[in-house]
Each structure stands twice: as structure tokens, then as C-alpha cells.
């Protein structure tokens, strides 16, 4: 894995200086506190804690047993427990798109006298956060909110009754603690002091809780009375930065160890440094940082009385889950290494999107309007599926768009009053059932405004007035308004009113077929537009951070790196690729450009410029480059598993890629392309998409490579540019070839060919075939309707044929001769994800276990020593 440490210079905008943390934006909830005792100021923070009444509408309140009381501060003493229902949720008002540190604290304290250790799940919105198994647990996560409300849910998984004592939210600066994906789950946070004191608010303006830790046998304590400048992105407390540890033996390394379970869990560390000893003129403190013996950062010297933070911009992993972080003194250094504080987080992915925010607001308004008090009506309405609200149905087939509410059944729910206007906001509704209630008033016109709403049952109520004409005239509408004794009937289509059973079916005029097609077309377009928008919002952002690194190398460095171009990895466009090491340990691939090719030089420039600008997990990363006269080289991250072509053709002599892995590789490559097309400014066309340009790392994660031909295709409002045609025969878009007009759809074509290769494992061009080009061959085989004859025989039928059909259909639409009829890469990503999901649900019974597995952390230092100081 490549490892970058980013050096955060402590340059902070003036804006940030005046934007001091406002504790009134903290949310401090004492769960189970009676409202009449709320709020009170708690020790040790002095912050006002409030009751949870109004944040949750279920559960009972409890209090921890007397003997535990002396060991805890007031917010811990009360708790709320949830004997009823499976999922119970807190709903908190937050600010959308804000990074929050969320802390949830659980002290069992034998509140129920049963002495049963807890065991239940904690969810954040629709996604699992962790499993609570200890009788004294503190969970913390740093999470960016997607909407203005946040659901914290407790889920019963066995006999154990979920409970919670304290819930705390602190908004953070958004530029601090940034993950590549997912959210940060707290692993540890410690400062190096033998005082044993815990530091939190008000010393820490964000109320991070710092545990003191010290190894008396190995370390010496250093402290300063002087003020340390803590102005950087992390705004650490004085008390944390004014103390530090150095090894007792001046030549020893400073070792910090911890274990991570499961071992593959990725984590990020943040080390905070400041020089707090007074250095003499001939003193130097300089050290390197290594992780499990591998170089990761340095040489580094802490700056006198000024805080600097060294952090991972990419997640790390430790072999076997045992991590050893070392600060190693360099030869130049006269002083031992010094460390003031360190934090670490693991990454948890939150794959499930929250339900469409407007739909959530709409259904909550419906809930309020009718005072509905159903046990399942808590948390996210649609997801996860097993907690779908009673009476709802949702569209959540597509994991990359928020689920929407498509059907609402409130029949026989004792509703009274009018048909609430809140339903108007459920704009994705297709079916509405309000039958057998006691609703009064008229049938509102707005029901006709909800475009997709075509099935309405209002029978068995007390509605009056007449059916609005707009409803009656709506095409395809099925409305049942039977058994509303006071309902008048004004139009001819309403003659059925007296009948017992029959519903009002609005006649559909004339050419049903053409209208239906129009509607389907409009619907598809609508869905497509929406999806496009959604995936754009979700698109990864470029990481400015890496740009800070100096990545220009000299030619002699390149020679050292590759041990004089010793080991050839392969041949890329315009040059040979060699294996190398940066900093002695980090593996890289070095492409050395062959001399004297002006075309090669242009491509080199194009690639450096592109790769310095864009960063995406599915684009191969640029570690650096060398430009020294004639000598040009590009240094990439090392992709241990070579290219996709080798794996398809079996030249790598490895086990064949199964269908699921192939789809995953396709999804990842598609995401890379999608990013080039939609995430980059200006957007780019790769122009040379093919299986040899899809590289695989040691985890078989796919990344696109070779951007030498890439071009921007949007110039001042144009949708395409005219260029000299370039690309690889077989993959080249015939329309582009014909017209010279370059658009992103040329990549879509090439990607379609890649998909066909992945599916069939046949050569793109094979002159010995009757139909040499793979597209023609597949087209011919498809007319025979037999998927097995197309599919790679070496898979032995081990695949979900639905997903294969879908993938082949997708590939065929990508290679449509007319570029305008090809899907966009965003649509391709969505479709492929569907294929992958259906293949995985066929293949994966073991996945259920994964989602449950918790991360256990045991620190060889820094335990929660002093509960009273919480
Ligand atoms: C602390 O550091 C910041 C950023 O380098 C600087 O702007 C500020 O003036 C410093 N404060 C003091 C008191 O030196
Ligand atoms: C309370 O804390 C003290 C000191 O940490 C410990 O000895 C005692 O066992 C704790 N009491 C309970 C009931 O946990
Ligand atoms: C949350 O916000 C809603 C609407 O903005 C408001 O009605 C409600 O009172 C707020 N709840 C709390 C606990 O602040
Ligand atoms: C947690 O469990 C341990 C061992 O069963 C017990 O000693 C301790 O007092 C319990 N603490 C709380 C807060 O329930
Ligand atoms: C540290 O190493 C230097 C050079 O190798 C040696 O001269 C010195 O005695 C060592 N100091 C200690 C405390 O071991
Ligand atoms: C740190 O670990 C190294 C082994 O990697 C060991 O040789 C050294 O003694 C340790 N230093 C301390 C201070 O424990
Ligand atoms: C550094 O200078 C001090 C005097 O200022 C002297 O005592 C000390 O021996 C010097 N140390 C080294 C390593 O040269
Ligand atoms: C520290 O890192 C630098 C730069 O990679 C390297 O040259 C040096 O040998 C390293 N020193 C030690 C003691 O590891
Ligand atoms: C919901 O029902 C529970 C008991 O079933 C009751 O205690 C609670 O007050 C009700 N809430 C509302 C808002 O009616
Ligand atoms: C519907 O949504 C709009 C915008 O989100 C909001 O202003 C309005 O109050 C909502 N109406 C109802 C009845 O919920
Ligand atoms: C329906 O509501 C009306 C008026 O609110 C009331 O008179 C009637 O008894 C209710 N009927 C039922 C079945 O609840």
C-alpha cells in the first residue's frame, strides 16, 4: 500500500481564528433525565445537559444501581432503556453537511438488577455503527451529516435490552479529520503525560477526551511552562501540547504499539508535535516515522513552541493487526525523538444511503398530522429493509441513490380529520391507501399533482364534496372512493358510486400504447436525470492534500529507485515500466520514456498534468515524476497484480477471476471513468480504455492507468472537440473514428468492449473468427439467445445468469453505433452495481457475518483509567 503522510503547515485562515468553537452548538443529552430537571450544568465540563424527552418517543427511564453512583458523574446516572420494539431511535436536529463528533455512552450499572451484560447494535441512520457488548462503553464517531436530522438507533439483537446513558454531539471544523471514504470510528486519543489526568472541554474546545498515558520505564517526561502555539487545523488544548515524552535512552526509538481486530481494518493516525525543550545552538532533534518498520514520514523536526500535525491522508493497515509506530532518530540528530499526542481512528463505511430527505420530512409530517404512534415508525423509514416502517413500501433497489417512499398504507389506522396536506410532499408515491378510517372533508386536488401516484384507495371514510376533476382525468388513475356516504358524484365516470365493490377507473383515451410509451420514456428520463444528479453529488473530491508533497525526482534518484532499471514490469505506451522502491520500502512502478519521441513527450506532459490534478481511488496514483532534459519518468503507485488483460488471458498463471470479482473490477473501473467525465473540472476523456490499462493492486482493486491520450472535451460551452483520432484498434469508437468529434461517449464505447471481454474472455479482434470483432461475434451469439455460449467457459457456469444478461445488455448499449444512445458512465456504474449486487446475493452467504463483526481494540497503553473524570 502506498503511504502518504501529509504535513500540515500551520497556516490557518484568519477566518478560522475568529471562528472559535461555540459550545452552544454542542448537543448534550442526559438520556432518561426527567424534563423538569432539565437542563443542569454537568461536571467536569460545565456544559448544560438536557433531557431526551422530545428526541425519542419510546423507551423507559432507569437509574444505575447505588453502588456505581460514586464512580460516575451525573449524566451517567440516568439512562433510557427500550424493552419494546426492535429498533428505537433518537432523532436529533443537526446541520446538514457538517462534520460532527458523535459520542454515545453506555454504563449498565445493573440498572435492572438482572446483572446481564449488554449486547445490542448501535446504528447511525440506516447503517450499523457498532455492537455494544461491554457494561461500560464509550463510542465515538466523526461523521459528516447528509441532512438536517440525524438518527441514532439502538437495535435489539437478542435478549439484551438496549439502553443508553449519554449522547453528545460536537460540530468540528470540516477540514480536520477527513477520510477518503466512510466515517472515522474512534480507536484511541492520548497525550503523553504521567499526570493521569483526563483533558476535555473546556480545555479542549471540541471536547475531545484525551487520556494521559506514560511508560515510566522507557520514557522521560518533558513539559514547558511557555505557551505553545496551537493554531492549526486541530486546535489542540494547551495542556496536551505543553507536555510530551522522549525515550530515556537518547539513542532508542520511541515505540507505540496497538492491535487492531480484524487485522484488515484500515485506520488513520494523527500525530501532534511541538518542540517544547529549549534547544542549544548545537542541538538538533530529527527523526523519521515508521510503521511496522516501513518508512512513512520524515526526516522531521518539531518546531519550537508551535503545533504541527502529521497525518495519514490514506488509510493504513498493519500486518496481523499488530501495529508498531516508531519514531527513529536520524544520524544528524543529537536529541531523541519527541511526541506530544496521538490519535487514531478506524474507517467504517456507511454503504446504505439515507431515504430521500423530502420523503422523510413528508412522512414525518404525516405522522405528526395524525398523531401516529407506531412502534416501527422510528429512524429511517425505508432502510435497512428489515426495519421498513409498517405500511410503507420503498424503492431502494439502487444503492447509489437515496431510497424513496413509493407506497403508503394507512388503512384502518383510526385516522380522523382531513386528508393531510403533508401527503403532498411524498412526491414519489405510487400507491396510497387511506381506506377504512374516519377521514372527513373533501378529496384534495393535490393528489393529482403527485405524478407517479396512480392507485388511491379512499373507500370506507366520511369524505364529502366531489371527486376533483384533475384526479378523474389523470391517465391511468385507479381511484376507489366507495363507501363514502356523503361523497357527491359529478362526472359520468363516477357512476359506480352506488355499487358495493367496483372502483372508479378513469377511462384512458385513444392511443394507449403511445401514451404509455411516452410515460415510460419520461419516467426513464426522470430517473436517469435524478440518478445522474445524485451520483454527481456523491462523486469523490480531489484531495488537495497530496499536492503538498514535493514529487519531482532527479534522474539519479530514479536510477537509485529502480536499482539502475533492473527489473522490468512491462511495457506501457511510449516506455518501459520498471519496478522500484521509494524511501527504501514503498514499492513503485517507474515508467521511463523512450528518448526522442515528441509524441511521447506530449503524452508525458499530459499525464503528469492530469495526475497531479486528479485523485480518485480508481485512478492509478502518481507518486512523482522526473523531468531532467531528455530523461523523463513517471513514478506510479505499484499495482501488485498487474493488468486485467493478464488475468483474463491466464498469462499470470493465477486462479481465474470469478464473475463477482470481474464485476467488481468493472464497477471500479467504471467509477474511475465516471470521475474523469463528471468529477473533474474540466471533464476528461481517457481515450484509451482497454483491459491492459486497468491495473489491479494487491487487493484486486481496479485502477485506470495510462492517461497519455487523455483530453479535456469541454471547451467553452461546447460538448465535444475535434481531435486527431487516437486510441487502440478494437476499442476505438467507430463514430469518433468517422467524425473526429470527441466526447465522453467514446470512453463508454471502449468500456463496453472491456465489458464484453470480461464476460466472454475472448480476444477483441480474432481474424480466425467469422466475425473477427468481439462486438459482432457477441451480437451474433445473442441472436441465438444462449448466454452460456457467450460466457467465459472457464467460469463453469458459476454465476448469476441474470447479472450476466444485464451486463451483456449494458455492454451492447455502450457500443451502440450512435453515441447519443449510449448510457453515461454514471448510468453504467449504477447498472453494474445492480449486477454486482445480484451476483453477490447469490454468492454470498458469508457476508451476513461480516456486517456483524465488530472491531475490537486493545491498547497496550492508555486504558480508560479514571471513570470519575469523565
Ligand atoms: C501561531 O501560529 C499561527 C499560524 O502559523 C500564526 O498565524 C500566529 O500568529 C501564531 N500565534 C502566535 C501567538 O505566535
Ligand atoms: C469504583 O472505582 C473504584 C476506584 O476506581 C473501584 O475500586 C471500585 O471497584 C469501583 N466501584 C464499582 C462499583 O465499580
Ligand atoms: C427540531 O427542528 C424542528 C423543525 O425545525 C423543530 O420543530 C423541533 O422542535 C426541533 N427539535 C429540537 C429538539 O430542537
Ligand atoms: C461491569 O462488569 C464487571 C464484571 O462483571 C463488574 O465488575 C463491573 O462492576 C461492571 N460495571 C458496571 C458499570 O456495570
Ligand atoms: C548513542 O549513540 C552514539 C553514537 O552511536 C554513542 O556515541 C552514544 O554513546 C550513544 N548514547 C547512548 C546513551 O547510548
Ligand atoms: C522499540 O522497539 C525496538 C524493536 O523494534 C526495540 O529494539 C527497542 O528496544 C524498543 N524501544 C523501546 C524504548 O522500547
Ligand atoms: C553543545 O554546546 C554546549 C555548550 O554550549 C556544550 O557543553 C556541549 O558539549 C555541546 N554538545 C555537543 C554535542 O557538541
Ligand atoms: C530517514 O529518512 C530519510 C529519508 O527517507 C533517509 O534518508 C534516512 O536514512 C532515514 N533515517 C533513518 C535513521 O531511518
Ligand atoms: C405512544 O404510545 C405510548 C404507549 O404505547 C405512550 O406512552 C406514548 O405517550 C404515546 N406517544 C404519543 C406521542 O402519543
Ligand atoms: C413540503 O415541503 C416544502 C419544502 O420542503 C415545505 O416548505 C413545506 O412546508 C412542506 N409542506 C408540508 C405540508 O409538509
Ligand atoms: C367519525 O367521526 C365522527 C365525527 O368526528 C364521529 O361522529 C363518528 O362517531 C366517527 N366514527 C367512527 C367510526 O369513529
The string of pLDDT tens digits covering residues 818-837 is: 888 899 999 899 999 988 98
Ligand 2 pocket (Cβ < 6 Å) reads 67-68, 71
Q: Say whether pLDDT at 508 is over 60.
A: no
pLDDT tens digits, 158-212: 889 999 999 999 999 988 998 888 899 999 999 999 999 999 999 999 999 999 9
Quote the pLDDT of residue 719.
Answer: 60
pLDDT above 70: percentage of residues in the chain: 84
Q: Say whether pLDDT at 13 is over 60.
A: no
Contact 581, 564 (CB under 8 A): no
Q: How far apart are CA 791 and CA 758, in angstroms?
A: 9
Grid coordinates of 30: 442526559
Quote the pLDDT of residue 750.
Answer: 94
Q: What share of the chain is helix, strand, coil (3-state, %, to 5)?
A: 25, 30, 45
Contact 374, 389 (CB under 8 A): yes
Return the residue whose CA atom lies nearest to atom 8 of ligand 10. 425
Q: Would you call 850 a catalytic residue per the annotation?
A: no
Q: What's the pLDDT band for 817 if we cut at 50, 70, 90?
A: confident
Q: What's the pLDDT band for 28 if we cut at 50, 70, 90?
A: very high
Which burial class, exposed, middle or buried, applies to 115 when counting CB atoms under 10 A from its CB (0-12, 13-18, 19+)?
A: exposed
Q: Say whether pLDDT at 595 is over 80.
A: no
Q: Say whether pLDDT at 394 is over 80.
A: yes
Ligand 9 pocket (Cβ < 6 Å) reads 57, 373
Q: What's the pLDDT band for 31 if we cut at 50, 70, 90?
A: very high
Over residues 91-108, mean pLDDT: 96
Q: Say whether pLDDT at 520 is over 80.
A: no
Contact 106, 186 (CB under 8 A): no
Q: Say whether pLDDT at 330 is over 90.
A: yes
Grid coordinates of 831: 447498472
Q: Say whether pLDDT at 859 is over 80.
A: no
Quote the pLDDT of residue 721.
Answer: 65
Return the residue whose CA atom lies nearest to atom 1 of ligand 2. 71
Q: What's the pLDDT band for 713 if we cut at 50, 70, 90?
A: low
pLDDT tens digits, 479-488: 998 898 888 7
Over residues 57-68, mean pLDDT: 95
Q: Return the residue matching grid coordinates 487487493.
A: 699
State whether residue 685 is helix, strand or coil. Answer: strand
Select the highest-mean-pLDDT range: 36-50, 567-581, 727-741. Answer: 36-50
Residue of 370, 418, 436, 438 with the most ligand 11 atoms within 8 Å of its CB, for mutation: 438
Residue of 231, 234, 303 with the most ligand 1 atoms within 8 Å of its CB, for mutation: 231
**Dihedral pair phi/psi, residue 164, rounded to 5°:** -155, 140
Ligand 6 and 253: CB distance under 6 A = yes
Atom of ligand 6 nearest to the CA of 218: 13
| Residue 592, marked binder | yes
Q: Say whether pLDDT at 369 is over 80.
A: yes
Quote the pLDDT of residue 287.
Answer: 96
Q: Which residues of 150-188 are buried (b: 16+ CB within 10 A; e: fewer)?
A: bbbbbbbeeebbbbbbbbbbbbbbeebbbbbebbbbbbb
CA 78 to chain centre: 34
Gap from CA of 110 to ligand 2 centroid (Å): 14
* List of domains in the chain: 17-172 (2.60.120.430), 184-350 (2.60.120), 359-506 (3.80.10.10), 543-638 (3.30.200.20), 642-854 (1.10.510.10)
Select the highest-mean-pLDDT range: 190-199, 343-352, 735-744. Answer: 190-199
Contact 727, 747 (CB under 8 A): no
Stretch among 231-245, 255-269, 627-641, 832-846 having the lowest mean pLDDT: 832-846
pTM (predicted TM-score): 0.61
Q: What's the pLDDT band for 682 if we cut at 50, 70, 90?
A: confident
User: Is the alpha carbon torsion for 657, 660, 665, 666 positive or negative?
Assistant: positive
User: Is the alpha carbon torsion for 87, 91, 97, 98 positive or negative?
Assistant: negative
Return the residue whose CA atom lies nearest to atom 14 of ligand 1. 229
Quote the pLDDT of residue 621.
Answer: 83
Stretch among 580-584, 594-598, 757-761, 806-810 having the lowest mean pLDDT: 594-598
Select the highest-mean-pLDDT range: 44-58, 371-385, 718-732, 846-860. Answer: 44-58
Q: Say whether pLDDT at 640 is over 60.
A: yes
Over residues 421-443, mean pLDDT: 94
Over residues 308-316, mean pLDDT: 89
Quote the pLDDT of residue 585.
Answer: 76
Q: How far apart are CA 356 and CA 428, in angstroms?
A: 10
Catalytic residue from among 30, 359, 482, 688:
688
* Cα→Cα distances 646→176, 411, 653, 654, 691, Å: 41, 59, 9, 9, 9
Q: Say whether pLDDT at 138 is over 90.
A: yes
Q: Tell me which ligand sits closest to the C-alpha of residue 416.
A: 11
Q: Tell me which ligand sits closest to the C-alpha of residue 425.
A: 10
Calculate the average pLDDT of the chain. Answer: 82
Q: Say whether pLDDT at 295 is over 50.
A: yes
Q: Say whether pLDDT at 3 is over 60.
A: no
Q: How far apart are CA 748 and CA 814, in angstroms?
A: 6
Q: What's the pLDDT band for 346 if we cut at 50, 70, 90?
A: very high
Q: How far apart are CA 618 and CA 707, in angstroms?
A: 13
Q: How far apart are CA 581 and CA 563, in angstroms?
A: 9
- Compare 523 and 784 and report the one with higher pLDDT: 784
Quote the pLDDT of residue 524.
Answer: 37
CA angle 105, 107, 110 (to 5 degrees): 160
27-30 and 48-51: which strand pairing? parallel
Ligand 11 and 438: CB distance under 6 A = yes
DSSP 181: S
Gap from CA of 461 to ligand 9 centroid (Å): 25
Quote the pLDDT of residue 218.
Answer: 93
Amino acid at each position: 500500500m502506498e503511504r502518504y503522510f501529509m504535513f500540515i503547515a500551520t497556516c490557518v485562515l484568519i477566518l478560522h481564528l475568529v471562528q472559535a468553537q461555540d459550545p452552544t452548538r454542542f448537543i448534550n443529552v442526559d438520556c432518561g433525565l426527567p424534563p423538569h430537571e432539565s437542563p443542569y450544568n454537568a461536571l467536569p465540563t460545565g456544559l448544560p445537559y438536557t433531557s431526551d424527552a422530545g428526541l425519542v418517543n419510546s423507551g423507559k427511564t432507569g437509574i444505575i444501581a447505588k453502588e456505581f453512583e460514586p464512580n460516575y458523574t451525573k449524566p451517567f446516572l440516568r439512562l433510557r432503556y427500550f424493552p419494546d420494539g426492535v429498533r428505537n431511535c433518537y432523532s436529533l436536529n443537526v446541520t446538514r453537511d457538517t462534520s460532527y463528533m458523535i459520542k454515545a455512552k453506555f454504563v449498565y450499572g445493573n440498572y435492572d438488577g438482572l446483572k446481564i451484560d449488554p449486547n445490542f447494535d448501535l446504528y447511525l441512520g440506516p447503517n450499523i455503527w457498532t455492537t455494544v457488548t461491554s457494561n461500560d462503553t464509550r463510542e465515538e464517531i466523526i461523521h459528516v451529516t447528509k441532512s438536517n436530522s440525524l438518527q441514532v438507533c439502538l437495535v435489539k439483537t437478542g435478549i439484551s435490552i438496549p439502553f443508553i446513558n449519554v449522547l453528545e454531539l460536537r460540530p468540528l471544523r470540516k477540514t480536520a479529520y477527513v477520510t477518503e471514504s466512510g466515517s472515522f470510528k474512534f480507536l484511541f486519543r492520548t497525550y503523553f503525560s504521567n499526570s493521569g489526568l483526563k483533558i476535555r472541554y473546556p480545555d479542549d474546545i471540541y471536547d475531545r477526551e484525551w487520556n494521559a498515558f506514560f511508560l515510566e520505564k522507557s520514557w522521560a517526561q518533558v513539559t514547558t511552562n511557555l505557551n505553545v502555539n496551537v493554531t492549526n487545523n486541530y486546535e489542540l488544548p494547551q495542556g496536551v501540547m505543553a507536555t510530551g515524552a522522549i525515550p530515556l535512552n537518547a539513542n532508542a526509538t520511541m515505540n507505540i504499539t496497538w492491535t487492531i481486530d480484524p487485522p484488515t481494518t484500515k485506520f488513520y493516525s494523527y500525530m501532534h508535535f511541538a518542540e517544547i525543550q529549549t534547544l542549544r545552538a548545537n542541538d538538533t532533534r530529527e527523526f523519521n516515522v515508521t510503521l511496522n518498520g516501513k518508512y512513512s514520514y520524515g526526516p522531521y523536526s518539531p518546531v519550537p513552541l508551535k503545533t504541527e500535525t502529521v497525518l495519514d491522508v490514506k488509510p493504513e493497515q498493519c500486518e496481523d493487526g499488530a501495529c508498531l509506530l516508531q519514531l527513529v532518530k536520524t544520524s544528524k540528530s543529537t536529541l531523541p525523538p519527541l511526541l506530544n499526542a496521538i490519535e487514531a481512528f478506524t474507517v467504517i463505511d456507511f454503504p446504505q444511503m439515507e431515504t430521500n430527505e423530502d420523503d422523510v420530512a413528508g412522512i414525518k409530517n404525516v405522522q405528526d398530522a395524525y398523531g401516529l404512534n407506531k412502534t416501527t415508525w422510528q429512524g429511517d423509514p425505508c432502510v435497512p429493509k428489515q426495519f421498513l416502517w409498517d405500511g410503507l413500501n420503498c424503492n431502494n433497489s439502487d444503492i447509489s441513490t437515496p431510497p424513496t417512499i413509493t407506497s403508503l398504507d394507512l388503512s384502518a389506522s383510526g385516522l380522523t380529520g382531513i386528508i393531510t396536506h403533508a401527503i403532498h410532499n411524498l412526491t414519489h408515491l405510487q400507491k396510497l391507501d387511506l381506506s377504512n378510517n374516519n377521514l372527513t372533508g373533501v378529496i384534495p386536488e393535490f393528489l393529482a399533482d403527485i405524478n407517479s401516484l396512480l392507485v388511491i384507495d379512499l373507500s370506507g371514510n366520511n369524505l364529502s364534496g366531489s371527486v376533483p376533476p384533475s384526479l378523474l382525468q389523470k391517465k391511468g388513475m385507479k381511484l376507489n372512493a366507495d363507501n363514502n356516504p356523503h361523497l357527491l358524484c359529478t362526472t359520468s365516470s363516477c357512476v359506480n358510486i352506488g355499487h358495493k365493490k367496483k372502483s372508479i377507473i378513469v377511462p384512458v383515451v385513444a392511443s394507449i400504447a403511445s401514451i404509455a410509451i411516452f410515460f415510460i420514456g419520461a419516467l426513464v428520463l426522470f430517473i436517469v436525470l435524478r440518478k445522474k444528479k445524485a451520483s454527481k453529488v456523491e462523486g469523490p473530491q480531489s484531495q488537495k492534500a497530496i499536492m503538498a508533497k514535493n514529487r519531482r525526482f532527479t534522474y539519479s534518484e530514479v536510477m537509485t529507485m529502480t536499482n539502475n532499471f533492473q527489473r522490468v514490469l512491462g511495457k506501457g505506451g511510449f516506455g518501459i515500466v520498471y519496478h522500484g522502491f521509494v524511501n527504501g520500502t514503498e514499492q513503485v512502478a517507474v515508467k521511463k520514456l523512450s528518448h526522442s519521441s515528441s509524441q511521447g513527450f506530449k503524452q508525458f506532459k499530459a499525464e503528469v498534468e492530469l495526475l497531479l490534478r486528479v485523485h480518485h481511488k480508481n485512478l492509478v496514483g502518481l507518486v512523482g515524476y522526473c523531468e531532467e532534459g531528455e530523461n523523463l519518468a513517471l513514478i506510479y503507485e505499484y499495482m501488485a497484480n498487474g493488468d486485467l488483460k493478464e488475468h483474463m488471458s491466464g498469462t499470470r498463471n493465477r486462479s481465474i477471476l470469478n464473475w463477482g470479482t470481474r464485476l467488481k473490477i468493472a464497477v471500479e473501473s467504471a467509477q474511475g471513468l465516471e470521475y474523469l467525465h463528471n468529477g473533474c473540472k474540466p471533464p476528461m476523456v481517457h481515450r484509451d480504455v482497454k483491459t491492459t490499462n486497468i491495473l489491479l493492486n494487491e487487493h484486486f482493486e481496479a485502477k485506470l492507468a495510462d492517461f497519455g491520450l487523455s483530453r479535456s472535451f469541454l471547451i467553452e460551452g461546447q460538448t465535444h472537440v475535434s481531435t486527431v483520432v487516437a486510441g487502440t484498434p478494437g476499442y476505438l469508437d467507430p463514430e469518433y473514428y468517422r467524425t473526429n468529434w470527441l466526447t465522453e461517449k467514446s470512453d463508454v464505447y471502449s468500456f463496453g468492449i472491456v465489458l464484453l471481454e470480461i464476460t466472454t474472455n475472448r480476444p477483441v479482434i480474432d481474424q480466425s473468427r467469422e466475425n473477427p470483432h468481439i462486438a459482432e461475434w457477441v451480437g451474433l451469439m445473442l441472436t441465438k439467445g444462449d448466454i452460456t455460449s457467450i460466457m467465459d467457459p472457464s467460469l463453469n457456469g458459476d454465476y448469476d445468469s441474470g447479472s450476466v444478461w444485464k451486463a451483456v445488455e449494458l455492454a451492447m448499449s455502450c457500443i451502440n453505433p450512435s453515441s447519443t444512445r449510449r448510457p453515461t458512465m454514471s448510468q453504467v456504474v449504477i447498472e453494474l452495481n445492480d449486477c454486482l449486487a445480484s451476483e453477490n446475493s447469490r454468492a454470498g452467504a458469508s457476508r451476513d457475518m461480516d456486517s456483524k463483526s465488530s472491531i475490537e481494540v486493545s491498547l497496550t497503553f492508555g486504558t480508560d483509567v479514571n471513570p470519575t473524570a469523565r
